[in-house]
Structure 1
Amino acid sequence: MRSAAYRFGSLLCLASCLVVAACVTINVYFPAAAAEKAADKIIDDIWGGEGAPPAKNDDKRSALPERSGDVLLAAAHSVLNLLVPTAEAAQADLNVSTPAVRQLTQSMEERHARLKKYYDSGAVGLTSDGLVEIRDQNLVPLPERNSVRKLVADENADRANLYREIANANGHPEWEMDIRTTFAERWSSKAAAGWYYQDKSGAWKQK
């Protein structure tokens, strides 16, 4: 009897720890899946869906092995199954619909019509920090070089402001770098065939 009571007390203690851990996770951790979803939506709006389709991300949680007679592990598994969906639901989406985000997205969409041919030629590429860069100015006709420099500078200003605005709009300015990193990965992943992008080491690669 005493053993059963002890095991029940241990179970309650474990469940309490899991609840506290789940709450900390909700409040602290950057919602990477929601950020990817938001980045894909914005990139599709800007590029008009002309890039590569997003890679499939199968979100399969590994099952916790249950051993016969192990009541604590089985109970912990059940508690986790209840808590994890709750945490994910609380951060299902990031707010990317503020007037500032919409204005920046529209500005970048209009500019893309002029930048696209430089992506296509390889003159301009996507950098590993979520910006764009003139990769080879020799591929830009001399009379167009000043205008391309301005296009790149304006695009980078809008991108930096976009990452900052999304972080601030969601009440977490400290997420700005994580958002920038997420966008950098999604820009490269969704780039059209033939476009250049930098890998994490900064080396240029062609899709």
Structure 2
Amino acid sequence: MRRWMGIPVAAVMLTACVTINVYFPAAEAKEAAKEFVEKVIGETPAESKAEPGKPGGSASLERPALQLDRLAGRVDWWSLVGIGSAQAQSPDISIKTPAIQAIQSRMASRFDGQLRAHFDSGALGFTNSGTVSVRDASKIPLAERVAVNQAVADQGRDSAAVYREIAVANGHPEWEAQIRQVFARQWIDSAKGGWWYQDAGGGWKQK
């Protein structure tokens, strides 16, 4: 009798030692955001380019900090203290679905056709929430303001749609807010010199 009573207890202990480890792949999300954003904006910012043969000049070479970040995200820390892990491996962040690429194409076309000149003039800027905003309407010719405001609104809707679509396409809708944060940083990182952006407090700064 005692032998059989021990079976449920052992089962509970075994279950307690198994964890499901699902993490947000921040390094992969940053890489995906950079690829997406720079295709929308166009040229890579001059300050982010490296001369051939120097560190950063090859896409196959990663910064040590990024390599450590990737490694840390993949270490099963529970296993180091003897606790098993039933790990649900998170995939690389995919941005290659037809829906995502269609949004990217619209955003790139709109950026080149209607928004870029107004970023250059200082009228528009990137917000700290991953969208575009009119920073100084006086820099937009009166005849163009309605069209520019509409383009800004459309770009904002597409931005929100793509953050949601990336999260859903990768099987984790709950990642939407984190993906938005990663993209918000990347729009600013990829901005050209002289363009405006919002800092964490909402103030405008020129890059």
Identity across the alignment (%): 41
Partner-residue secondary structure (3-state), 2:197: strand
Q: 2:91 matched to 1:96? A: no
Indicate the SS of the match to 1:200: coil
- How far did 1:91 drift? 3.8
Please name the residue that 1:45 is paired with.
39
Could you report, residue by residue, the CA deviation over 1:88-131 in whole angstroms, capped at 9, with x for unpaired residues?
xx446211111100000000010111210111111000000000
Q: Structure 1: any 5+ residue segments left out of the alignment?
A: 1-15, 63-75, 81-86
Q: 1:58 to 1:133 in 2, by over 3 A?
A: same
Residue 48 of structure 1, CA deviation: 1.7
The one-letter code matched in structure 2 to 1:144 is E
Quickly say closer, same or farther: Cα 1:165–1:61, change in 2 above 3 A. closer
* Counterpart in the other structure of 1:121: 121
CA contact (8 A) 2:33 2:186 kept: yes
Q: How does 1:171-190 map to 2 (within 5 A)?
A: 171-190=171-190
Once the two structures are superposed, the pairs formed by residues 49-198 of structure 1 within 5 Å of their partners are: 49-51=43-45, 52-53=47-48, 58-59=65-66, 61=68, 90-91=89-90, 93-113=92-112, 114-198=114-198
Could you say what secondary structure the match of 1:119 adopts? helix
Structure 2 unpaired stretches of 5+? 1-15, 50-55, 57-62, 70-75, 81-86
Q: How many aligned residue pairs are there?
A: 169
The CA distance in 2 between the partners of 1:61 and 1:93, in whole Å, is: 16
Normalization by structure 1: what TM-score? Answer: 0.72
Where is the helix percentage greater, Structure 1 or Structure 2?
1
Task: Answer whether contact 2:39 2:108 (CA < 8 A) is retained.
Answer: yes
Q: Is the 8 A contact 2:196 2:204 kept in 1?
A: yes
Question: For the residues of structure 2 that align with 1:116 and 1:205, how far apart are their CA atoms?
Answer: 18
Q: Secondary structure of the equivalent of 1:59?
A: helix
Distance 1:94 1:124 in 2: 29
* Kept after mapping to 2: 8 A contact 1:34/1:91: no
Structure 2 residue matching 1:37: 3-state secondary structure? helix
- Cα distance 1:119–1:60, how it changes in 2: closer, same or farther (>3 A)? same
Could you tell me the TM-score, scaled by structure 2's length?
A: 0.72
Alpha-carbon distance, 1:188 to partner: 0.5
- C-alpha separation between the residues in 2 aligned to 1:162 and 1:60? 27
- Alignment RMSD (CA, Å): 3.0
Give the whole-Å Cα distance in 1 for the aligned partners of 2:67 and 2:161: 34
